[in-house]
Each structure stands twice: as C-alpha cells, then as structure tokens.
Homo-oligomer: A and B are copies of this chain.
Amino acid sequence: MDTLPRYAVPTPRTGTAALGARRGSGSDTAPETPGGLLARKLGNFVDLSDQEREVLDDLVRQHRQYGPREHLSLENGHSRSVSLILEGSACRYKILPDGRRQILTLFIPGDLCGRCLPDLDLGDESIVTLTAATVAVIPRQAFAPIIESYPRVARALAWNAMVEEGVHREWIVNIGQRTGYERIAHLFCELFHRLAAVGLTQGLRCELPLTQGELADALGLSAVHINRTVQQLRSDGLICLRGRELTILDFAALQSAAMFDGQYLHLSQAARRIEAGTMRTYPDL
C-alpha cells in the first residue's frame, strides 16, 4: 500500500465531456443497433454469424424499450422478464433488516438483468437503476425459440450467466481479502474493462456510474472511508476522479495495486482492445 509507485498529480482538465451518453461519439467502435450491443457481449464467448446477430437484434427491437432515460426499479423477486440495459447503469442489491445495503451486481449497457432460464424466487433481492437508463424489457419466454433454434446463442447466454457468477466469486475475494484501497482499485479496473468491452471508454477515461455512497455499499466500506481512500488513489497518481468522470492515470500501477487479473471477466475482446488501443494512447505511462 505504501510502497506503490508515486507520481506527480497532473489532474488533466480535459473538460467535462458527457461520457457514454451519446452512442458512437468518439468511443471506440460502439455498435449501431441496440441488439448489436447484446451481440457484441455474446461475441465474447462465441463468434456469431450475421444471422445470429440479426435474430438478437430483432429480439431486442421487438420488445418495448422504456425510454428515453429515466430512473426506474427493474423488478424484485421473481419476474417474468429480463431487462437488457441499453444506456445507463443498474445494480442488484440486498438490504438487511436494519437497513444496511449491499450492492451485489453492477449492470452496464449490454448486460442482462435477470436470467433467461426459469428462475428461482430470488427472495429479497432487488434491481434498480443507478443512473438514468434505457432498457429493453424482454419476456423470458421470448428467449425460448432462440435457445431452441440457435444452440450457439444458447451456449453464449449460458456462459454469459456463468461469467456473472464468476464476477460474484471475485467480489467475495475482493471484499473478503483486499483492503479498502485495493478494493476500490479493483472495482475500477473491473468496471473499466467491462465498459471498454462495450465501447464506452475514451482512451483511459470512462464514466463511473456510482456515487461514492454507492461505491461504499458495493465494497462493504463506509462512504467516508471511500472518500478518503479515493483521495489516496488520487495522490498516488493512479486515477483522476471528478464527478462521474474517471480517468485512469496509470493502468499498470492500478492493476498491480489491486492485484487485478481480468481473466475472470472472460472479455477477450476488451482485453485486446485496451492493450492494443487504449493503452497505446498514453504511451508515456
């Protein structure tokens, strides 16, 4: 913690461009169609054919999209539908009887909230949006014919769910073993990788879809401690966080401070994109 490489803090003031708000506005090759977002996500697991992509695109297009961009609660308990996030972000959480809240999952564009398979009663878990969001609400039964006819898509959907589980297990490691400093760094790494995978990063900049209070609920820390530790990360020259705009100043140092190994995300595409594209944008780091 104390032996991390330190840098002067340049706090690059690049103006407060709305990150991730506009589709395809300078972000790295964002998909054009809503369904393309889902296709891109599943493309991490299977190379989809044009036909398969089209089927997914139709699926999303055919189902009503709440919009444009409002805060809403995406069901709790067992719902009969799955929500695909098109814009914005959401989270799954659980609340203890005395009010303590734990955020369990973060959903970003391209993520499916809920299972495509018949689900168990999820008890006291709920899903709400963290920011204004656009979602496509797809009844679960709409997946059935696709799963029937396109086994590769079915496999990709199953793998997608397994990756979500893998993320949960990594969160257990994160909260259980890492210090506050490492935890925050790790979450930032994870989020950046995932955002990069759906083209919602610009260079080493992205939108952080959480307030510090929500970060606290996700990482099992208090909001005050989050604040102080974020300042630590800043003064160590690892990140620049102002409002919702997160800039990673030293990706290598951040990842090593977090002991981050993105393997569990299974984001083949993102990894390549970050290494080959984004990283090179800041060759001096």
Contacts and interface: CB of A to CB of B under 8 A. Distances in A.
Interface of A: 94, 96-98, 100-102, 104, 115, 117-125, 155, 158-159, 162-163, 165-166, 168-173, 175-178, 219-220, 259, 261, 263-264, 266
A261 B125 CA distance: 13
Given A104-B172, A175-B176, 9 more contacts: A96-B173, A100-B178, A102-B177, A115-B162, A118-B155, A120-B166, A123-B261, A165-B165, A171-B172
Nearest to A94: B173
Contacts of A118: 155, 158
Contact of A123 (B158, B172, B263): B263
A219 to B, nearest CB: 7
Contacts of A163: 120
The copy count of this chain in the complex is 2
Contact of A120 (B159, B171, B176): B159
B117 A158 contact: yes
Residue among A100, A165, A263 with the highest chain B CB neighbour number at 10 A? A165
A252 to B, nearest CB: 15
Contacts of A102: 172-173, 176-177
Nearest to A161: B165
B168 A100 contact: no
A66 to B, nearest CB: 25
B168 A169 contact: yes
A175 B162 CA distance: 22
**Closest CB pairs A-B (n = 6):** A176-B220, A102-B173, A100-B177, A102-B176, A123-B263, A168-B168
Contacts of A165: 165, 168
Nearest to A221: B176
24 contacts: A94-B170, A94-B173, A96-B173, A96-B178, A96-B259, A100-B178, A101-B177, A102-B173, A102-B177, A120-B159, A120-B166, A121-B266, A122-B166, A123-B166, A123-B261, A123-B263, A124-B261, A124-B263, A168-B169, A171-B172, A175-B175, A175-B176, A176-B219, A177-B220
